Amino acid sequence: MENKMEIEEKRIKSLVATFIIMVRLGHIDGSKFILNRSLLRSVVTHYIQDLQVLKMRYGILGKVQPQKTAGLTTAAVMRFRPVLPKNSKDENLFEQDANELLAILHGLCVCSELRNEKIELQTVASLWEKPEFAEWLSNFRYLLKFRNYTAENLALVFDTLVRFAK
């Protein structure tokens, strides 16, 4: 069973890695956005607290399913929004979905983790290339940006995706 420090380190690394991947792929403009360390730590702290509550609520003794982790981290990212603009005077910032994209891609990466806890990016890439994915991503971004949800709702979104998108 992982301790709090191990979980914290693992989640920080996975969120930073996801941000870097998003910048390299051009999904987040690295010249306009940065990942704030303080907010990132708040994301992970909140995730760990939610994880403890979820485990107590459902009587989970070991690790939770990746889908649950994905839902909890997605909710935490959206709560603290660790991706910040470098220039706060940019008038088009609201149109940017950097935090939504980070939350979603990180969730997908978590769901694709192998037993050795390495992310299987090929799985994420093949999902991203499916014709239906663009609509799913658009709908999920809309949900995160404009609608109401809970961390458990988001876990169910990832659970459904994992079960049916093969």
Distance of CA 3 to the CA centre of its chain: 21
Print the domain residue range for 90: 4-164
Which residue from 102, 124, 108 is spatially nearest to 30, judged by alpha carbons?
A: 102
Task: Please give, one letter per residue, the 3-state secondary structure of 33-50.
Answer: EEECHHHHHHHHHHHHHH
Measure the CA–CA gap between 67 and 163, rounded to whole angstroms.
10
Q: Which residue has 């459902």 as its token pair?
A: 58
> What is the tens place of the pLDDT at every residue in 78-98?
999 999 998 877 666 666 799
**How confident is the model at residue 121, as a pLDDT?**
76
Residue 159 tokens read as: 């659970």
DSSP secondary-structure letter at 84?
E
Highest mean pLDDT among 28-37, 93-102, 110-119: 28-37
SS3 30: coil
The number of folded domains in the chain is 1
35 dihedral zone (left: phi>0; alpha: psi -120 to 50; beta): beta
Q: Specify the pTM.
A: 0.91
Output 91 or 7, whichever has higher pLDDT: 7
99 band by pLDDT with thresholds 50, 70 and 90: very high
What is the separation of C-alpha 4 from the centre of its chain, rounded to a whole number of angstroms?
19
Helix (H) or strand (E) holding 6, with range, is helix 4-25
